[in-house]
């Protein structure tokens, strides 16, 4: 069986339509978050009731929630595929290209969780009136899971992207609660509990495997920073009250992040928003 | 057939075809009963992926404003979606006809409508588009309805009633809102 599969090799039926990661970055349109930044409204809701595109009183909230949860659904499929590949791609041992047997066991457990999340997501899609494949699939999670270094793979997927999933699940759990949707609220709560475990696995294995290799640990953390910034959705996820998806600080601490690391993610998201807004302004000016 | 014009004619942020949008709108206008002498102008803001829409004029020329995301194919970002275009434009055209009909004479102005009222009225429009053979995504509309009217059996029954109504009135919409509100917030 092939090792180190590429995202192009992932099997999907005719309902799914893939959109390349680069295609996402070619989209020069102004997101609601960028509009807030251009109008100087980011961070202005300090102390006020949080109102974002996932607030029940927002006109677009139900459709934005459907699209976001479909993104989570395809992310769950890819997380299952990624954790499965990590079990297969590396030999058990103590070498640089090997992984401890206990880490493979953790990845196998994660496969079990992700498979359950796929089933939950399919049923949640039904509940939210979403067709499977209704929205484009981006394979960015699996692409992070293609890193040939197992520790970089774990920091990119388990710490950066599953960390993002913690923020999304926490936000959507609140949305389910405030909109009076118990199905959404409980689905998110159950999946959130597993995500905290997955991120903690990433944090623990990063520390254990790189205990005597500070240079490798540094490379892994740098890869995590790149993934965190790339997939902060141009500031879609952030720390201020006006962020559509808010950093879930408490759950991240439970998953092994220290406050300095969480502050750094908040800063990366802020930078991503500023860069996206500057790009939009420059293009609008030249148009 | 009504005359439809689309602005802009050339898109730069998205890969939409103004001619195809005009065709979709013309077909809808014909099916819904707009006169051949009517003029419909559609102004599209292609710079945003959001999907807000607005009616700027009820009389000919009927003026519709649409944010680009309302016409987008959700499977192929930045490309025109046939289903999204038909349902977004169809909903607006039905709203125009409803307001002209006199059946909605008591309805508040567009910017005075509450979210539950908007969604209830939209439900009648989507049901009518579905009856014409358009894929109006009934489960999606039901989820939107539940978000505004409660995740209750009453809300589902009211949704079914509105979806099936072929000649709704403002009284129907207002009564629907009152009925679901009684369940969410009992007196």
Query: A57-91, pLDDT tens digit by residue?
Result: 889 999 999 999 999 999 999 999 999 999 999 99
The interface predicted TM-score of the complex, written ipTM, equals 0.94
Q: Which residues from A are below 8 Å from B146, CB to CB?
A: 181
Q: Is A258 touching B (CB cutoff 8 A)? A: no
Output the pLDDT for position A40: 65
Output the pLDDT for position A38: 67
Output the pLDDT for position A234: 73
Give the chain B residue whose CA is nearest to the CA of A182: B151
Whether pLDDT at A283 is above 80 = no
Instruction: Give the other-Cβ count within 10 Å of A265's Cβ.
Output: 26
pTM: 0.92
pLDDT tens digits, B139-159: 999 999 999 999 999 999 999
Whether pLDDT at B45 is above 80 = yes
Both structure tokens of A284: 């609008």
Whether pLDDT at A32 is above 80 = no
Q: Which residues from B are below 8 Å from A133, CB to CB?
A: 75
Give the chain B residue whose CA is nearest to the CA of A19: B76
Q: Which residues from A are below 8 Å from B147, CB to CB?
A: 56, 61-62, 179, 181
Using CB atoms, pick whichever of A23, A30, A134 lies closest to residue B77: A23
Interface test with A, best of B111, B140, B149, B181 (most A CBs within 10 A): B140
Rounded to a whole number, what is the distance in angstroms from the first to the last CA of chain A? 51
Instruction: Give the other-Cβ count within 10 Å of A103's Cβ.
Output: 22
Q: Find, among A17, A20, A126, the residue nearest to A69 by Cα.
A: A126
Decide if B77 and A180 are in contact by the 8 Å CB cutoff: no
Beta bridge partners of A137: A18
**Higher pLDDT, residue A34 or B96:** B96
Interface test with B, best of A23, A29, A74 (most B CBs within 10 A): A29
Q: How far is B113 from chain A (nearest CA, A)?
A: 12
Whether pLDDT at A106 is above 70 = yes
Confidence of residue B39 (pLDDT cuts 50, 70, 90): very high
Confidence of residue B59 (pLDDT cuts 50, 70, 90): very high
| Contact residues, A window 141-200, toward B, CB-based 8 Å cutoff | 179-183
Both structure tokens of A208: 């254990």
Output the pLDDT for position B128: 98
Decide if B13 and A29 are in contact by the 8 Å CB cutoff: yes
Output the pLDDT for position B86: 98
Residue B78's Cβ-count burial label (10 Å; 0-12, 13-18, 19+) is buried
Please state the φ and ψ torsions of residue A137, each to the nearest 5 degrees: -100, 125
Output the pLDDT for position A44: 57
Give the chain A residue whose CA is nearest to the CA of B118: A59
Q: How far is B86 from chain A (nearest CA, A)?
A: 17
Q: Is A57 touching B (CB cutoff 8 A)? A: yes
Mean pLDDT throughout A237-261? Answer: 90
Output the pLDDT for position B186: 64
Helix/strand/coil for A55: coil
Residue A99 in contact with residue A159, Cβ under 8 Å?
A: no
DSSP state letters, B25-69: HHHHHHHHT--TT-EEEEEEETT-----EEEEESSSSEEEEEEGG
Whether pLDDT at A48 is above 60 = no
Q: Is A32 touching B (CB cutoff 8 A)? A: yes
Q: Mean pLDDT over all residues of chain B?
A: 96
Confidence of residue A279 (pLDDT cuts 50, 70, 90): confident
Q: Which residues from B are below 8 Å from A62, CB to CB?
A: 143-144, 147
Interface of B with A (CB under 8 A): 12-14, 46-52, 68, 74-78, 115, 118, 137-144, 146-147, 150-151, 184
Confidence of residue A213 (pLDDT cuts 50, 70, 90): very high
Mean pLDDT throughout B12-39? Answer: 97
Q: How far is B12 from chain A (nearest CA, A)?
A: 9
Whether pLDDT at B136 is above 70 = yes
Output the pLDDT for position A87: 95
Q: Which residues from A are below 8 Å from B75, CB to CB?
A: 17, 133-136
């Amino acid at each position: 069986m092939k090792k180190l599969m590429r995202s192009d090799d992932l099997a999907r039926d005719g309902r799914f339509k893939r959109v390349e990661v680069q295609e996402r970055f070619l989209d020069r349109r102004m997101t609601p978050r960028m509009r807030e930044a251009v109008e100087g409204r980011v961070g202005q809701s300090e102390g006020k009731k949080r109102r974002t595109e996932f607030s029940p009183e927002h006109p677009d909230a139900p459709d934005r929630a459907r699209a976001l949860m479909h993104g989570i659904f395809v992310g769950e499929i890819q997380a299952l595929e990624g954790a499965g590949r990590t079990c297969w791609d590396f030999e058990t041992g103590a070498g640089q290209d090997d992984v401890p047997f206990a880490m493979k066991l953790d990845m196998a457990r994660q496969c079990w969780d992700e498979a359950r999340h796929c089933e939950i997501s399919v049923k949640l899609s039904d509940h939210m009136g979403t067709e499977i494949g209704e929205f484009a699939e981006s394979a960015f999670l699996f692409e992070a899971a293609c890193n040939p270094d197992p520790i970089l793979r774990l920091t990119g997927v388990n710490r950066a992207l599953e960390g993002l999933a913690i923020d999304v699940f926490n936000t959507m759990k609140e949305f389910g609660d405030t909109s009076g949707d118990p199905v959404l609220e409980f689905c998110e709560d159950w999946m959130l509990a597993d995500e905290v475990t997955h991120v903690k696995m990433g944090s623990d294995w990063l520390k254990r495997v790189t205990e005597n290799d500070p240079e490798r640990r540094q490379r892994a953390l740098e890869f995590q920073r790149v993934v965190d910034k790339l997939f902060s959705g141009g500031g879609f996820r952030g720390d201020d009250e006006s962020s559509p998806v808010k950093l879930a600080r408490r759950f991240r601490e439970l998953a092994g992040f220290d406050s300095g690391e969480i502050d750094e993610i908040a800063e990366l998201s802020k930078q991503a928003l500023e860069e996206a807004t500057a790009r939009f302004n420059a293009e609008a000016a030249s148009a | 057939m009504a005359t439809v014009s689309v602005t802009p004619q050339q898109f730069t942020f998205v890969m939409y075809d103004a001619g195809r949008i005009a065709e979709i709108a013309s077909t809808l206008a014909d099916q819904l009963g707009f006169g051949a002498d009517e003029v419909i102008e559609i102004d599209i803001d292609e710079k945003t992926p959001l999907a807000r829409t607005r009616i700027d004029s009820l009389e000919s020329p009927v003026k519709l404003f649409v944010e680009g995301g309302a016409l987008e194919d959700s499977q192929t970002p930045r490309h025109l979606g046939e289903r999204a275009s038909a349902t977004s434009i169809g909903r607006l055209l039905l709203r125009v006809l409803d307001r002209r009909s006199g059946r909605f004479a008591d309805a508040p102005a567009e910017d005075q409508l509450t979210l539950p009222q908007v969604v209830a009225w939209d439900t009648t429009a989507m049901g009518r588009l579905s009856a014409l053979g358009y894929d109006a995504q009934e489960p999606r509309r039901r989820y939107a309805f539940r978000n505004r009217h409660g995740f209750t059996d009453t809300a589902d029954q009211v949704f079914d009633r509105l979806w099936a109504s072929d000649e709704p009135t403002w009284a129907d919409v207002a009564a629907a809102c009152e009925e679901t509100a009684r369940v969410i917030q009992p007196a």
